[in-house]
Structure 1
Amino acid sequence: MCGRYASARKKHELLEEFQIEQDGEPDKELGADYNVAPTKNVYAVLSRVPHEAERAVRQLRILKWGLVPAWAKDPSIGSRLINARAETLAEKPSYRRAFAKRRCLLPADGYFEWMPVEPERTNPDGESEGRSGRGHKQGKKKQPYFIHPADGGVLAMAGLYEFWKDPSRADDDPLQWLVSCTVITTDAEDHLGRIHDRMPMMIERDRWAEWLDPKLTDTERASELLVPAESGRLTAYAVSTDVNNVRNNGPDLIKPLPEAGEPALF
């Protein structure tokens, strides 16, 4: 799954990087967030046909992370729909309509995953056996890792977005509509799989336009655009457990641990 990520690029950088034609939130800008968690507001790139326009326009919008389907009775369901498995997008009632019409990109600098580790133990002679002592059961401690593009570029995570109308609000209430999103996940590539068996689905630059195209409603064709990242595209290293607490934030959360040395390419 993907339950935390970092998104620290400034708005003007994203507008340029994704060749945005329309800033959907011209009066709003999200600050750098090194610990993006579910239910937070996040940047999303999407294409929609404006009122009375003839074609779709690529926009940068601010959405809430945690998809709320149009049929939901209340928005609380969003906290359980932060990830959508690529294998079942066209089948699940929560995602299939959005998969056919409302696909987006969620910009990130990288994401976090936690790998279970074994606690230190000693042998009868008092010598440390480290985390790989034979016969020792896996401990409950988990080590967070920061996983990001090896070239330092933006990670364009595949996502879906949806509109939910709040029946308790008046038609002229600007908060009547909630726009939310989810991150699409896939099986982790072999080496990353040692950290966690799932990872966000990346969309490479040459597929951005087709993935975002609202005229593409053929889910079989859309599925063909979901190609897992090639081996070597991402790098991972251990980071501080400070990221475990959603109240912690700042660039220190994505710094490698001193003992981690150079990042390992996977």
Structure 2
Amino acid sequence: MANFKGHALPGSFFILFGLWWSLKSSLKYHSRKLNKNGHANRCFRHLDVIEGAVKFIFSVIGILAEQFVPDGPHLYLYSGEPRTWVKLMNWQHSTMYLFFAISGVMDMLTYYQDQVPAGLDRLALSVAFFVEGFLFYFHVSHRPMLDQHIHSLLLNAIFGAAISTFIGVFMQHNIILDLFCSSLALLQGTWFWQIGFVLYPPLGGPEWQEEDHSNVMFITMCFCWHYAAAILITAVSYTLVHCCMQRHKRNHGQTEIGLGNWKRKSGKSAQTALLNESDEE
């Protein structure tokens, strides 16, 4: 959708998933350090299935929103008199959502690890990011300078996420790589919102001069600020998880110590009682 809502919708999706991925990566990393058994892995497998289902549902919502808005194509690709293409921009957005829906299905299939090759979920997500970037690369041809530039900045985050996720297929359980991908997903989400505010001001404010080079310079600087904010959010997520896990570890250790003291006291009491009984006899 060539309006503010059409950019706010995918932006919200990417922000939610970026936040979740930063938390999940941090939880996995600290859980592997604390738990040597496979119980944590089974829990995360269930979470991956839920994540895949949510990703699939969100993608279907995106497709339906692109197709069935009042001025949408309503599943018509080529119609009218004379015969012409129908709302190709909406079709491109629908195609983007389609590949993220496929990624969601792959996430759900990873529950059956015996039948599904390891890393297939990450490969599907990498392909979804690549298709997103591929579509947006040809999305803004013959548009004003500011429109082209603000979308080209988005490509940096998209292809960065595609490459880092693809590397993750072969380098699994790498916390740095996972957090980097999470920050790029957050960057995509906030930047989609920024594109909506610049090109389609929701509050009816003054429109940006799209041929003004000063606006291009500011938008470039603003993109760097967005990524700084994404890094900060990712760092805060990791720190919160680290503090919570350390507190859990500390409390768990105190419980074990308390049980040990109780056992030792119980043993001493039993020995004292036996000695008293022997003395009486």
Normalization by structure 2: what TM-score? 0.25
More helix by share: 2
Q: Comparing both chains, which one has the higher relative contact order based on Cα–Cα distances under 8 Å and sequence gaps of 6 or more? A: 2
Normalization by structure 1: what TM-score? 0.26
